[in-house]
A and B are shown apart, each in its own frame.
Chain A
Amino acid sequence: MMGIEQIAFLEILTFIAGALLLVGLGSLTSALLQPNLPNEAKLCTYESGEVPTGGSWGKFNARFYVIAIIFMLFEAETVLLFPWAMVWANPTLNEATEGLWARYTAMSIVLFIVPLGIGLAYMWRQGHLASTHPCPIPPTFASKVPKAHYEQINHRYASTPRRLQHIQKAK
């Protein structure tokens, strides 16, 4: 037996099914119609026009993880705030308790939020919220080749753009 709530979910189910069907049909037709001629340039990773330097499974800089984690914590805190927001100004409850209810719930939420805020302030003060800037170490290597030689090479290849250089090398 289905209640009214379950019937409401049917709508969502229809949407999900429709979305799956449309996407599936689209990709099926394109898979049937498209020519399949792969080559190296087509299969290489797309880097917005730059020449790719390796696969896309590289490691990412986790510099902002502290902020991400704090964001996660404060987002999940809403789970506890939402039910509170639903009941604290409830007029029937407030009338029944002559306003005691609102004062009590307000006090409890203040007791919940203020320590969290203090924790955030502590982190800020400790400098955990500042993004850590990368500090590149300048190379100390002294080359035996004089700089003029490099400039010569640069001058020689200056006429051909960098992208074409890469293709020339590949050939």
Chain B
Amino acid sequence: MVSMPPPPLLILSALVFAVGTVVVLTKQNVLFVLIGVELMLSAACFDFVLFSSYDPKQEGQVFVLFFISMIVCETAVALAIILKVYQYHQSIDTEQLQQLREK
């Protein structure tokens, strides 16, 4: 590695990732969990772009293009499944979604 991105930017992305993790772990509404995951993903995205600015081949940026379209697909599927769960259960609260568990 020849050079390194400025540390404040790395710290920023690490913070976003950490916030996303906390949201995923603490929120009860599935939609908020999804938002937390999106935050984690965008932090990773940010890191790729940061690191790829020091790569003459810019592989990281190409990766990010694929990455963004894949994230959108995942989000679309997640939203559809959430709506399906809501149809059956009338709730998307993780505390109440306990059909499958140890009995």
The residues of A that contact B83 with a CB separation of less than 8 Å are 62, 65
Q: Give chain A nearest CB distance to B83 CB in angstroms.
A: 6
Bound Cα distance from A75 to B72, whole angstroms: 9
A105 → chain B closest CB, angstroms = 14
Pairwise interchain contact A69-B79, C-beta atoms closer than 8 A: yes
Q: Which one, A62, A72, A77, contacts B75 given CB within 8 A?
A: A72
- Which residues of chain B are within 8 angstroms of A127 by Cβ–Cβ distance? none
Convert B60-103 into 0s and 1s, putting 1 for each residue whose CB lies closer than 8 angstroms to a CB of A: 00000110110011011001100100000000000000000000
From 47 to 75 in chain A, residues with beta carbon under 8 angstroms from any chain B beta carbon are: 62, 65-66, 69, 72-73, 75
Per a CB cutoff under 8 Å, which of A65, A66, A76, A83 touches B72?
Answer: A76
Across-interface contacts of B79 in A (CB, < 8 A): 65, 69
Chain A interface: which size bin?
10 to 19
Q: What CA separation (Å) do A65 and B86 show in the bound complex?
A: 13
B76–A69 touching, CB < 8 Å: yes
Does residue A79 face the partner (Cβ distance < 8 Å to B)? Answer: yes
- B69, A69: Cβ atoms under 8 Å? no
Instruction: Kindly report which residue of chain B lies nearest to residue A73, judged by CB atoms.
Output: B76
21 pairs from A and B in contact (CB 8 Å cutoff): A62-B83, A65-B79, A65-B83, A66-B80, A69-B76, A69-B79, A69-B80, A72-B72, A72-B75, A72-B76, A73-B72, A73-B73, A73-B76, A75-B72, A76-B68, A76-B69, A77-B69, A79-B65, A79-B68, A80-B66, A83-B65
Q: List 7 additional contacts besides A65-B79, A79-B69, A80-B69; criterion CB under 8 Å.
A: A62-B83, A69-B80, A73-B73, A76-B68, A77-B69, A80-B65, A83-B65
